[in-house]
Structures are given as C-alpha cells and as structure tokens.
Amino acid sequence: MTHIEADPHLPIIRITREFRASPARLLRAHTEPELFARWIGPDTLQTRVEHWDARTGGSFRYVSVRDGEEWAFRGCFHEIRPDRLVQTFTYEGDPDGVALNTLWFDELGEGRTRLRTQSLVDSFESRDSWLKSGMEVGLQDGYRKLERMLSNDAG
Amino acid sequence: MLVDTLSRTFAALADPTRRDIVARLSAGDATVNQLAEPYAMSLQAVYKHLRVLEEAGVVSRPAGPQPRSVRLELGSLDLMDGWLEQARRRAEERYQRLDRVLAEMEDEEPGP
C-alpha cells in the first residue's frame, strides 16, 4: 500500500511503501542503471540511460521515449549510503525546477524494507503543478467538482 | 478556461498566511476580526487575502446576520485530495513494477 502526503508547510511530497526485499537489493534497484530502467516507467515509455555514475558525488542522465518523442531527466547522486540515497532531479524541459529527493531504506526484518521518499521542490506552485501533471482524467473530474463547488451546490 | 480556474485555486493556497487561514477555518467558521487577530497585519491586508481565497472558491462568506463569518468550502480541498490520490496511484504503479524487478533480482542472485 503506497501512502502519500503533501506537507502543509513546506513544498514537499512524501511517499511511503513497503517491499519484500532487503535494503541492499532495493538500493541496487535504484543505483544499477539496467535495473532502474526496468521499473522507472511509466509503462507506455521506454527508458534509455545516457550517463550513469552511481557514486557519492556522481551524476546521471536518462531519456524517456514514446513514439519518437523524448523527455530527458538528469541529476546528481549527492550521497549514497546503505540506508539512504540523496539525489537532485531535474526535467530538462524545465531546467530551473530542481527537486531534492531523499530516500530512506528502513530494514523491517524478515526480508522486508520500508522505502520512504521525500521530494522537496522550490515552490508550492512547482509541487502543485507536479501533482496536477499527467491527470487528464483527474483534471476533468476535478474541474467538474470545482464547477459544482463554484455554483454553490456542493454538499 | 479550466486550467486557469484550477491554477487560481492552487495560487490561492500558495501563500503561507492564506494556508494558515484555511487551516484555522477547517476547525470552524470565524469572523474576519477573529481571523485577523493573530497576524501583525492590517485588517485591510487580511481582507485582501480573503478576497483571493474567495475568488478561488476556497472560502465563502455566506450572507447572514452581521458580522458575517467566513466559511471553508471543503470541495476545494477535495480537489487537492483528488490530485494527491492520482499521484499516489502513479507511485503505486511504479512500485508494482519495482516489486517485479526485485523478485526477478532474487532469481538472478546466487546465494542464501
């Protein structure tokens, strides 16, 4: 079960999820490029890793491809530890928007690990536009809800 | 234009004072004077913040006995919840792919 929250005071999104794997294996899935490319997704995209130096102080760049259209992402592996990964993350189409992502791998025993991620962006507007992204259907639903709300017949 | 309307809602909530007003209204309706009390700003400045929230549909000031109280329109926060739920679903889909990769790694790894 994935749990998500938007911090009310800081432009942060936090996501928590448990996995049936050791912290070491979960870390490898985030730091080995061929493993990372297999799950980062979404399903409709192919991921091509262009540059990958998964060491403290290293950097990465990968490209998501769909029907010839490409979206490039890059960032730094600021720090890699057995139980913690700190990265910067930028979508090259919006080079001024830099997220600071921290991932914690909490060992739960019995071969289970809790992954906690925190993504800090530079403004509430950036966070909220990220929350709105990729939501054509949700946007329509949200708009209908807003319409109802604005016409004051929302219960 | 629908995106403009949505952007207005989010812009309204992008200011810390306005978020604080919303947080306090979530505990119950309040008059403008009550809302203004904790802030070191003029009543006029508080009215300005309320107007932004009102125009975005986040709060309303239903006509009624004076002094009129300010009410939180919960629907506007449902919208935020809806977007969070979308983001949650996206993360869950990604993590289900990660589940599969982790299981495949187990098959590939020799050892205990």
Name the residue range of residue A21's domain.
Answer: 2-153
| Residues counted in chain A | 155
Closest alpha carbon to A85 in A127, A117, A47: A117
Longest dimension (CA), chain B: 76
**Domains of chain B, residue spans:** 5-108
* Terminal-residue alpha carbon distance, chain B: 59
| Domain B5-108 belongs in CATH node 3.40.50.1100 | no
Express each pLDDT in A66-78 by its tens digit. Answer: 888 999 999 999 9
Express each pLDDT in A24-75 by its tens digit. Answer: 999 999 999 999 999 987 777 889 999 999 999 999 999 999 888 999 999 9
Provide, as residue numbers in chain A, all residues whose Cβ is less than 8 Å from the Cβ of B88. Answer: 2-4, 15
Alpha-carbon distance of A7 to A9, in angstroms, equals: 6
Query: What are the beta bridge partners of residue A87?
Result: A77, A101
- The residue of chain A with its CA nearest to that of B105 is A25
Closest alpha carbon to A76 in A95, A46, A52: A52
Provide, as residue numbers in chain B, all residues whose Cβ is less than 8 Å from the Cβ of A17. Answer: 91-92, 95
**b/e map of A101-114 (b: 16 or more CB within 10 Å)?**
bbbbbeeeeeeebe
10-residue block means of pLDDT along chain B (112 residues)?
62 82 84 91 93 90 79 76 83 94 85 56
Provide, as residue numbers in chain B, all residues whose Cβ is less than 8 Å from the Cβ of A124. Answer: 10, 13-14
Whichever domain contains A133, its CATH number is: 3.30.530.20
pTM: 0.69
